Amino acid sequence: MAKHKVCFASSSGGHFEQLLMLKPLMDVYDSFIVTEKTDYDVDIAKRVYYLKQVNRHERNFLPLMFVNFLKSCRIVFREKPDVIITTGVLAIIPLCLVVKIRGGKVVYIESFAKVNSPTLTGKLIYKFADQFYVQWESMKKFYPNAIYLGGIY
């Protein structure tokens, strides 16, 4: 039986640091990483794809999301992942949608930093995620069907 192909995706910064905690899983599966393009290189995986950084408060938010949607289509149709595991945020939403539309599974891990309020990305992806994890039990009040197993750290 062939290994599942897994996409590990997140924005840059703290979300990416949380994703790196899953490095042991990356080594087990046929995997690749999708993250935002920043000044820092990502050399943790053989295959790394980049999306545009997105800030919902910037004027060019919608055009950048459209560009990320097109990039996501290209990545998903090239790699054909069975599963996406993501720690968010906004730039990753189009990627999750494309994976889901193509028949893949979406696994979302809400940010460790969110103890008392949900993220916008979490609220959006919760509606269609196949598995949704929270890192604090207090977050189950926002995501009643979420899975709590403790923190990723």
Per-residue model confidence as pLDDT tens digits over 47-84: 999 999 988 888 999 999 999 999 999 999 999 999 99
Beta 83-86 vs 5-9: how paired, if at all?
parallel
Q: Which residue has the tokens 């599963």?
A: 83
Bigger pLDDT: 46 vs 103: 103
Go through the domains of the chain in sequence order and give each one's CATH number.
Answer: 5-148 (3.40.50.2000)
DSSP assignment of the chain: -PPPEEEEE--STHHHHHHHTTHHHHHHSEEEEEEE--SS---SSS-EEEE----TTSTTHHHHHHHHHHHHHHHHHHH--SEEEE---GGGHHHHHHHHHTT-EEEEE--TT-SSS--HHHHHHHTT-SEEEESSGGGGGT-TT-EE-----
Q: What's residue 42's pLDDT?
A: 64
pLDDT of residue 87 exceeding 80: yes
Q: Please give the model's pTM, rounded to 2 decimal places.
A: 0.91
pLDDT of residue 45 exceeding 80: no
Q: What's residue 43's pLDDT?
A: 66
Q: Which two structure tokens, joined as six digits, stand for 66?
A: 């459209």
Q: What is the mean pLDDT of the chain?
A: 92
Residues 6+ apart with CB under 8 A from 66: none
pLDDT tens column, 95-132: 999 999 999 999 999 999 999 999 999 999 999 999 99
pLDDT of residue 151 exceeding 80: yes
Under the banding of pLDDT at 50, 70 and 90, the label for residue 40 is: low
User: pLDDT > 90: what percent of the chain?
Assistant: 76
Residues 6+ apart with CB under 8 A from 4: 29, 30, 82, 83
Q: What's residue 118's pLDDT?
A: 95
